[in-house]
Each structure stands twice: as structure tokens, then as C-alpha cells.
Amino acid sequence: MLEREGVWYVPVFRSVESMKEFYERMNRAAYMILEGDVKTVMDTNRSIELMKRVGVVIEPFSDHPVEFMPDS
């Protein structure tokens, strides 16, 4: 997960290629794939106790990442 100004975020990607690039750059060997729209990802996060206060950031390494706060 990523952290910015005290808020934790789950990275979300538009393609498998950008996801793989992110995890390679972060030196991570494992990851989980949830497919769907932003609402589905947020609903999934809210259904998991440890993830209720986690937002999402779309394409974190792009020039213009989009952040959704946990209460969005």
C-alpha cells in the first residue's frame, strides 16, 4: 500500500502492464488483482475491516494520479 499525508491508499491500475511496472519498481513479488470499477474496489475495501480506512489511487506513477479518499 501507499501512504500520503497519513492516509493509506491501495494502488489501482488501468492495465495489467502498468500494474506489473508498478510492482517491479516497488520491488514487490506478489500482488492481488481485483477487477471492476472504482466503486467496486471501494466497496470491496469497505467490506474488509482492515481496509475500511484505505483509499485508492489510480495509476500512482502516472503524471496525473487520481486519489479517492476512504470516505469517498
pTM for the predicted model, two decimal places: 0.71
Helix (H, G, I), strand (E, B) or coil at 26: coil
Q: Where are the domains of the chain?
A: 2-68
Q: What is the mean pLDDT of the chain?
A: 86
Separation between Cα atoms, residue 40 and residue 56, nearest integer Å = 11
Higher-pLDDT residue of 39 and 34 is 39
Model pLDDT, residue 31: 72
The reported pLDDT for the residue numbered 62 is 92
Q: Choose the weakest-confidence range: 10-14, 31-35, 37-41, 67-71.
A: 31-35
| Separation between Cα atoms, residue 61 and residue 24, nearest integer Å | 12
Round to whole Å and give the CA distance between 21 and 3. Answer: 19
Q: Please report which confidence band the pLDDT of residue 66 belongs to, taking 50, 70 and 90 as the band edges.
A: very high
